[in-house]
Amino acid sequence: MRVLVTGGAGFIGSHVVTALLADGHEPVVLDALSATAHAVAPPRPDAEFLHADVRDRAAVDRALRGVDAVCHQAAMVGLGKDFADAPAYVDCNDHGTAVLLAAMAGAGVRDLVLAGSMVVYGEGRYDCPRHGRVALGPRLTADLEAGRFEPRCPRCGAESVPGLVDEDTPADPRNVYAATKLAQEHLAASWARATGGRAVSLRYHNVYGPGMPRDTPYAGVASFFRSALARGEAPRVFEDGRQRRDFVHVRDIADANCLAVQGISQLEPGTFRARNAGSGTPRTIGEMASALADASGGPAPIVTGEYRLGDVRHITADSTRLREEFGWRPQVAFAAGVAEFAHAPQRGVPAA
């Protein structure tokens, strides 16, 4: 199968290309090599490569020639620096996706696997001991300033217990990046209905592993910790370090993409599905920082009590549907993955 991988030179995209090659497919890479992810040029992918932006319709038309399916990884990621980044996020993530989908409609390419994100959920699932399932709004600045990080029941004020969210949970994006990822899904669903296409959004959890970028505000928390340790500094852990996340290895995410590309033909035309992609084993952010410090022999993490508006407290999800429908099984255990990541090369992004 000939598969276009947008963003195929990036952190996750490059692993997707490797996995597709290993499965006997023919990946085609389209990547703009943007400075936010590639201030130092990465190695060229071991596949057909087109250096172009997904917002360039003519380039996308060329890249789609002879393609059977698209694996759309190109995006700006992370919270960024501040709200001034909002136009860039919307332009890259949503305008770029719209251009790609319009080109796919014109080229008759009808299968799409989208790099989604668990950030579309906002806060995860919570249960109050007295009132059962509760929907929580954004945390108050006053609570964060006072070190009251745990969300509480809006009815009685009791501390709520976090749980796993499934794909039926209503979306509640809490920052610009999350809003753009949800918009990508809406665009993909509209495209599928209009063209008879089939689309699957893999809602990634906190992906980590070899090749994460270094020293950039657009990377994930695991990369921040790894970059600090590479500089000989202690990782700085925000809040109290007890925030729950699902850290999933990048090779497992690449395998999920391959299985989705191969299995999407079982869906009815005009179908859009979102599927959670996580390891299934929640960890705290503090655990990740400590595990990386131990594995690298670096200084112990410092819990700072700082916070970022737009961050959620806990978000972990149930990936049962992805496992059942596409036969995906994460293979990289947390301890082994962190031990590898602690010593693996990072993408060289120079400090500003």
For residue 217, give every residue at least 6 positions away whose Cβ sits within 8 Å of its Cβ, in sequence order, or none: 78, 79, 80, 81
Cβ atoms of 92 and 76 closer than 8 Å:
yes
In degrees and rounded to multiples of 5, residue 137 shows phi and psi of: -80, 180
Tell me the sheet residues that pair with 98.
none
Options 121, 177, 208, 218, the catalytic residue: 177
- By residue count, the chain amounts to 352
List C-alpha distances in Å: 176 to 14, 80, 86, 115, 306: 25, 9, 6, 16, 20
177: annotated active-site residue: yes
DSSP-assigned beta bridge partners for residue 31: 51
- CA distances from residue 102 to 17, 56, 82, 98, 197 in whole angstroms, order as listed: 23, 11, 30, 6, 12
Q: Minimal CA–CA distance to 272: which of 327, 201, 322?
A: 201
Say how far apart CA 98 and CA 191 lie, in whole Å.
9
CA 312 to chain centre: 15
- Give the C-alpha separation, 144 to 306, whole Å: 8
Query: Could you tell me the sign of the dihedral formed by the alpha carbons of 289, 290, 292, 293, in that order?
Result: positive
Q: What distance in Å separates the CA atoms of residue 237 and residue 221, rounded to the nearest whole number?
A: 9
Name the H helices within 93-242: 96-107, 141-145, 176-195, 221-230
Structure tokens at 66: 């002879």
The set of catalytic residues is 177
